């Protein structure tokens, strides 16, 4: 897709050419060059060539059709919660989570002019993470497909009265001036990314490591279904570190849950807990087992 702003296209084409030379050693990410996902890709897997994709769906498709060996996708932020739609996209992709990466997030306000600014473009997540900063200055937040793409768009638009909120690297790439650094509302702003591949991690590759397992399950539409499905984790001493609900379809009759636990299938306690959860659920599907990037608890 060539849906990137003009100033980003030449960089995108160069990065795509490098990735195409050895697709198995490419890692797809959503956004223009200079986006937080670009930085996460280079930090988490410096041995792979970053492949920019316009949307999350495009990044996942790049792995499915063999243009990349892996993809790195933001899944949740400490300030702004889960990334929209990601819980739908991961199960639908058919890919497996094979790793995770935590990255501190710092945003900069950048522009062609020196201000004051009428509006600032950025990804909705970045706008949400900087909402107090924007409100205090009377700057209208305007959504864009990604942070660095917003910077490229501001450069392309040529209007000194609008700004972008993006990583500092984007200012360098697209010829903008950084007006203010660290405009995020919380100094400990952190995003968790997951790394996905076509094949799950082999059990022998996980041996001896502290592991996480991510799965989804849909409870039966009966009283106490959630209570019963989760009981096995408590009785078997399996620590569940994340549980989020979301609706699929329009019936609103039953809820699907996205969960992270410490441990992996093959551990008898985890096997018993998952078996009990599956018994009380309409469906349970494991999205991946992988090494912890940082301790929980």
- How far apart CA 227 and CA 140 sit, in angstroms, is 44
> Which letter, b or e, does each residue of 168-184 get, where b requires 16 or more Cβ atoms within 10 Å of its Cβ?
bbbbebbebeebeeebb
d(CA 232, CA 263) in angstroms, rounded, equals 14
Active-site residue (options: 193, 217, 233, 257):
193
From the centroid of its chain, how far is CA 220? 29
Which distant-in-sequence residues (6+ apart) come within 8 Å of 130 by Cβ?
Answer: 107, 122, 141, 165, 183, 184, 185
94/196 Cα distance (integer angstroms): 10
Kindly give, in sequence order, each residue whose CB lies less than 8 Å from that of residue 163, ignoring residues fewer than 6 positions away: 109, 110, 111, 115, 117, 119, 120, 121, 139, 154, 179
Q: Is 191 a catalytic residue?
A: yes
Tokens standing for residue 130: 């900087």
Residue of 54, 117, 191, 213 marked catalytic: 191
CA proximity to 110, closest of 167, 163, 182: 163
Torsion of CA 275, 276, 280, 282, to 10 degrees: -20
* Tokens describing residue 234: 């408590």
Using DSSP's 3-state secondary structure scheme, residue 263 falls into coil
Residue 281, classified by CB atoms within 10 Å of its CB into exposed (0-12), middle (13-18) or buried (19+), is: buried
Active site residues: 191, 193
């Amino acid at each position: 897709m060539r849906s990137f702003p003009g100033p980003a296209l030449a960089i995108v084409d160069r990065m795509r050419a490098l990735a195409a030379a050895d697709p198995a050693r490419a890692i797809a990410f959503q956004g223009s060059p200079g986006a937080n996902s670009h930085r996460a890709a280079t930090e988490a897997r410096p041995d792979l060539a970053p492949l920019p994709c316009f949307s999350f769906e495009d990044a996942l498709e790049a792995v499915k059709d063999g243009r990349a060996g892996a993809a790195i996708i933001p899944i949740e932020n400490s300030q702004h919660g889960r990334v929209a739609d990601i819980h739908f996209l991961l199960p639908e992709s058919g890919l497996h989570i094979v790793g995770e990466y935590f990255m501190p997030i710092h945003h900069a306000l950048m522009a062609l002019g020196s201000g004051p600014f009428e509006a600032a473009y950025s990804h909705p997540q970045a706008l949400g993470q900087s909402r107090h900063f924007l409100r205090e200055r009377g700057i209208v937040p305007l959504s864009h497909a990604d942070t660095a793409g917003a910077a490229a768009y501001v450069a392309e638009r040529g209007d000194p009265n609008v700004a972008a909120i993006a990583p500092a690297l984007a200012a360098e790439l697209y010829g903008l001036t950084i007006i203010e650094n660290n405009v995020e509302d919380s100094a400990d702003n952190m995003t968790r990314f997951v790394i996905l591949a076509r094949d799950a991690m082999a059990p022998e590759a996980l041996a001896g490591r502290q592991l996480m397992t991510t799965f989804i399950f849909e409870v039966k539409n009966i009283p106490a279904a959630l209570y019963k499905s989760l009981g096995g984790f408590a009785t078997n001493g399996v620590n569940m570190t994340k549980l989020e609900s979301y609706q699929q379809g329009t019936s609103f009759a039953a809820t699907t849950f996205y969960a992270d636990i410490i441990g992996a299938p093959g551990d008898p306690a985890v096997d018993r807990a998952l078996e009990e959860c599956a018994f009380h659920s309409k469906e349970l599907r494991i999205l991946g087992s992988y090494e912890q990037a940082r301790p929980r608890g």
